[in-house]
Structure 1
Amino acid sequence: MPKNKWSRYLALPMLSFALILGACSGDEEASPEEGGGEAETDGGQELENGGMYSIDDFSNVKTNEGEAIDGGTITFGLVSDTVFEGTLNWNFYSGAPDAEILEWFDEGLLTWDENYVYTNDGAATYEVSEDGRTFTFTIGDNVNWHDGEPVTAEDWLFAHEVIGNPDYDGPRYNSDFTNIEGMEEYNSGSADTISGIEVVDEKTLSITYIESTPSLLTGSIWSYPLAKHIFGDMAVADISSSPEVRENPIGFGPFKVDSIVPGESVTLSKNEDYWRGEPNLDGVTIKVISSSTVVQELETGGVDLISEFPVDQFPDNAEMSNVEYLGAIDRAYTYIGFKLGTWDAESSTVAYDPEAKMNNKELRQAMWHAVDNTAVGERFYNGLRWNATTLIPPSHPEFHDDSNEGRAYDPEAANQLLDDAGYADTDGDGLREDPEGNPLEINFISMTGGDTAEPLAQYYVQSWEAVGLKVNLEMLEFNSFYDRVGNGGEDDPNVDVFQAAWGVGIDVDPSGLYGANAIYNFARWENEDNERLLAEGRSEESFDLAYRQEVYNEWQQLMVEEVPVFPTLYRAVLSPVNDRVLNYAIGDGTEVYLNELAVNAESPVTAE
């Protein structure tokens, strides 16, 4: 590899980072928008175009008013219609509610810039070898766990050893880890150590990767250490359920956990020894609030800020007098998924089933054509969610193929596809039988959450019924939904179709969601072209931006053709913040950190 390949790449505005499960239900988490057109604004936020809104009319940085007081506390509202699971460690968590809590007290050792490329401004710095395969990381001398112990290279190695252990029960082990030299041998038990990882000294770690890929600079490096002095003597299978994860979690972030009421609240105090500097606030309380009470909590000052406001409630509350709404395009999308197989826990790979009920491409294509997601975005979300076309969202503009129109709403096309595939109404009851003439019933699950969750799911059921498909709907709360859909590796055979959402990471690479060895590939879909394109997107050739764009354009079209899942809505995220709060921002690349958060008064401002 030429010496300047990495420096050229660093200059490119690439996106990236290992994906995380931001699985979210209809109203639990807001998101990107596009459906409002180009209307003029009225008062900065409400548009004249049929009551539509645009994310372009929001700032993502809070306007500061007044002078900060010394200390003070705030309350963060975690909007969820279910309790949080409480797996409070980055190495094991799987749900977005837990991630929202983790962000307050723990963090990765690496940070990234507005172009989603790793920087040397984080808790650790890095250097890259000439061939782009070996990274040498140096952890800052002032980076310490909340109990005062230093964060060490051994802790970083230990996280890799736990995730690579055959008894590991979390969702992180994927191609990001198998690209490390010696990881697969360690995982199989044929080696006692990971040959590609070396502890150079207490604060220095070296990792050698099998392949040099652009994703190494934009997300596929695992940067979350695991405190070996706490977890080192535990059996790996016991860590995720241990009190040290569930009751007394530890991190090295700006705040530290004092107490937890399981599923309801977390109380934190400032970490005076935080590596970026002592936080301005004395503490933070995180409390779960439902989507039905979020407005009341904001108006009364019961919470100072929430990360995501239910956007279907925004039109009625756009003029709330005591908050400022921040807005950003979310790295997320909602989608409809089809069950096409199961998860093979022994081999940690998808077991694709060619006989699965939904394993007819024309059936899946027809179900996409049958729904009008432009109307959904306007009717349910006033334009703050909008029709999604491909599985790389517009939050990643260099790789989102905006020329690809996906599958447009077209009931005639849906009917023709079903007719051609042999799904015919043979008994005259208005509902189609399968190609063998057997009754066809499709079991569809979706998540509860706010006033629009069930009406939205019912809309999809009615749209599919309009083209002759009998679909049975079941609404489930967040944790039960993901148990049924296969988050723990157990796929419910009674689920055929599901509606969910992904919060994607900064790395464009979709392998962790749609690769054959990804547990998050809930469709359990496997395809030779898919694996080829995912590999090409991570190859050394993909350091060429145009080449990588070409690969991901082809991948987006493959998914439009095969439809193991189809995207429904892109998302805008709105975050209301009490007027007393200072130094707060949402989105990427703002360089506003939680230790800078402050308030200008002891008590929240209440609505007039």
Structure 2
Amino acid sequence: MKKWLSGFLLVLAVGLVLAGCKSEGAADQGSTEDIDQEIVVNAMSEPPDLDPALATDTTSGWVLDHVFEGLYTKDKEGNPVLGTASDVQVSEDGKTYTFTIRDDATWSDGSPVTAQDFEYGWKRVLNPDTGSSFAFYMYYIKGAEAYNKGEASVDDVGVTAKDEKTLVVDLEAPLGYFDELLTMWTFYPVKQDVVESDANWSASEDTYVSNGPFKLTSWEHDSQVVIEKNEEYWDKGVVKLDKVTYEMVNDATTYYQMFKTNELDLIQTLPTDVIDQEKDSEEYKETPYFGTYMYMFNVDKEPFTNAKIRRAFTLAVDRTSLTENVSKAGETPAYAFVPEGVETPEGDFREIGGAYFEEDAEKAKQLLQEGMEEEGWDELPEVTLLYNTSENHKKIAEAVQEMYSKNLGVDIKLSNQEWKTYLDTTEQGNFQMARMGWIGVLVDPVVILDYYLGDSPNNRTNWVNEEYDELIAQAKVEQDEQKRYDLLHQAEEVLMEDLPFNPIYHYTNTYLTSQNFKDIVYPVNRYPYLKWAQKVSE
């Protein structure tokens, strides 16, 4: 997989990362010294949390990836490379990693980054009192799961700062993609005295301390976030931008017009009605995005307590029509959970697994009737589909609403909430059916399938299946690559049989980026990375 990932991202870098940006030759024709090195991008909504231990969404992650750095970071081609660590030694059995922290690794307040900062930050994520929804990503570490579940002491966790510059990490079993895993924000360090001196340290630029290429300098909540070049960053020489402004404009028509009037330099998720006219523009980019757009079913809320009714609502959606006529961004209709893009010894994981169902309105009606008879219902309980506020989500929800009326004879209601409120509502289980997207932090099936683990805080459906959980657990320690993928296929089959969710499509991201910039990176599982970006013309 890593060999494929490296090659794929190299192709992506050559074909997409720099595409549409001003050529090197053009940039060299004039000096950029007199050009203000600033870029304005659209985050669309308020980042729910800029604490690395608590962030669970791509909007927060977009900012965090610029203001923090882990032991590993990514190069321009998307490969994991040493970041805040200058060296790593791996034991012969692959279970112990010894990291050396860079001598010049520094916090934005000028103090040195230490191994203790990583030990504290990781154990804080695992501390049950922290309530981190992403703590399970650390379960590969010895003793991490037991501590997080209150079954062991923090001293049993295999993360130890031997001295200020030496961090030793012990794993439960060898993990071939551990370097890749450590690039995600959950594994960033945090400064203990900063965190413990103010419970709201991550909500204001006045108390925010980080160690990445940029630092937080302004946060006007529900309006904009501003980050500026961190002069204390060890690799500051590669950072060309002095300032990045994240605006929070949710209405697609509005932010599209702001791009056209040069108020925004980069926008994503284009309004569906402008995609056709923009596709031939040099500013347009369409990039793979390793994730799935779906509707979650709350299996504890009627009518989705019934598996046949869940399947009926799944079979009644015409995904081809949605992707071709509504979203229009080149997405792939989803008939499973794991997207394409993972190369296994036998071929692409998705192609090997195939589709788990076909759209079938007549079958959907039959299953709906059978499910209602099993429950003793003469009529279906009222159904409300909840989505987070977005013009594109609204259009898709309205199209799905029409499909249910036509194909099932069911009239559902629609409701929307702003992103932060929406996350709270779904986390509390106050929904019947709700939109969600899940992006793999790694290009690997396990990080997609992790979503529906019974004890995953991200699984908001209340669906728990012991067979599914056990298959995922076995896959995580299986050292034979093909056997590992076989176990993951079996797990996905269990998931798709019960269907606690309705997969709609596998993502493609659409962007418009000003031609005034070069060297913006467009990863397959993150939003655009601006570490190397440079403005070359006004």
Say yes or no: TM over 0.5. yes
The CA deviation at 1:111 is: 2.7
CA distance in 2, matches of 1:121, 1:220: 10
CA distance in 2, matches of 1:14, 1:417: 44
1:130 aligned partner: 92
Which of residues 327, 331, 334 in structure 1 aligns to 2:293?
A: 334
Q: Does residue 594 of the first structure (1) align with residue 535 of the second (2)?
A: no
The answer (yes or no) to whether the contact 1:58–1:326 under 8 Å persists in 2 is no
CA distance in 2, matches of 1:136, 1:397: 30
Closer, same or farther in 2 for the Cα pair 1:405/1:306, shift >3 Å?
A: same
Percent identity over the alignment?
A: 21
CA distance in 2, matches of 1:535, 1:14: 26
Which of residues 97, 111, 118 in structure 1 aligns to 2:59?
A: 97
Secondary structure of 1:551's counterpart equals helix
The answer (yes or no) to whether the contact 2:240–2:531 under 8 Å persists in 1 is yes
The CA deviation at 1:157 is: 0.6
The CA deviation at 1:434 is: 4.3
Closer, same or farther in 2 for the Cα pair 1:266/1:208, shift >3 Å?
A: same
Closer, same or farther in 2 for the Cα pair 1:595/1:456, shift >3 Å?
A: closer
Counterpart of 1:61, as a letter, is: L
1:503 aligned partner: 439
Counterpart of 1:523, as a letter, is: T
Which of residues 49, 53, 61 in structure 1 aligns to 2:18?
A: 61
Which of residues 181, 206, 214 in structure 2 aligns to 1:255?
A: 214
The CA deviation at 1:126 is: 2.5
- TM-score normalised according to structure 2 size: 0.86
Secondary structure of 2:434's counterpart equals strand
CA distance in 2, matches of 1:304, 1:326: 13
- TM-score normalised according to structure 1 size: 0.77
Closer, same or farther in 2 for the Cα pair 1:125/1:340, shift >3 Å?
A: farther
2:109 aligned partner: 147
Q: Does residue 394 of the first structure (1) align with residue 357 of the second (2)?
A: no
CA distance in 2, matches of 1:57, 1:596: 15
2:276 aligned partner: 315
The answer (yes or no) to whether the contact 2:16–2:285 under 8 Å persists in 1 is yes
2:330 aligned partner: 384
The answer (yes or no) to whether the contact 1:338–1:358 under 8 Å persists in 2 is yes
2:390 aligned partner: 449
1:196-244 CA distance string (max 9 Å, x none): 221122121111122334453542785311112312455xxx3xx3366
CA distance in 2, matches of 1:593, 1:472: 38
Which of residues 372, 376, 379 in structure 2 aligns to 1:423?
A: 372
2:460 aligned partner: 522
1:283 aligned partner: 243
1:555 aligned partner: 491
Which of residues 236, 259, 273 in structure 2 aligns to 1:298?
A: 259
- Identify the range of structure 1 (127-136 vs 173-182) with the bigger mean alpha-carbon deviation: 173-182
The answer (yes or no) to whether the contact 1:362–1:417 under 8 Å persists in 2 is yes
Secondary structure of 2:72's counterpart equals coil
1:271-317 CA distance string (max 9 Å, x none): 22322233222222222233222222222221222354445532233
The answer (yes or no) to whether the contact 1:369–1:407 under 8 Å persists in 2 is yes
2:133 aligned partner: 171
CA distance in 2, matches of 1:244, 1:289: 20
Q: Which structure: greater helix fraction? A: 2
Counterpart of 2:278, as a letter, is: N
Name the count of aligned residue pairs.
Answer: 516
In the TM superposition, 1:67-78 aligns within 5 A as 67=28, 69-70=32-33, 72-78=36-42
Closer, same or farther in 2 for the Cα pair 1:288/1:401, shift >3 Å?
A: same
CA distance in 1, matches of 2:32, 2:205: 33
2:424 aligned partner: 483
CA distance in 2, matches of 1:15, 1:554: 27
1:231 aligned partner: 195
Greater relative CO (CA pairs within 8 A, separation 6+): 1
1:577 aligned partner: 513
The CA deviation at 1:133 is: 1.7
Closer, same or farther in 2 for the Cα pair 1:471/1:337, shift >3 Å?
A: same
1:420-466 CA distance string (max 9 Å, x none): x3425xxxxxxxx943446522232122212x432321222232233
The CA deviation at 1:94 is: 2.6
Closer, same or farther in 2 for the Cα pair 1:167/1:77, shift >3 Å?
A: same
1:198 aligned partner: 160
CA distance in 2, matches of 1:383, 1:106: 31
Counterpart of 2:255, as a letter, is: V
CA distance in 1, matches of 2:145, 2:321: 48
RMSD over aligned CA atoms reads: 3.2
CA distance in 1, matches of 2:40, 2:383: 40
The answer (yes or no) to whether the contact 2:13–2:521 under 8 Å persists in 1 is no
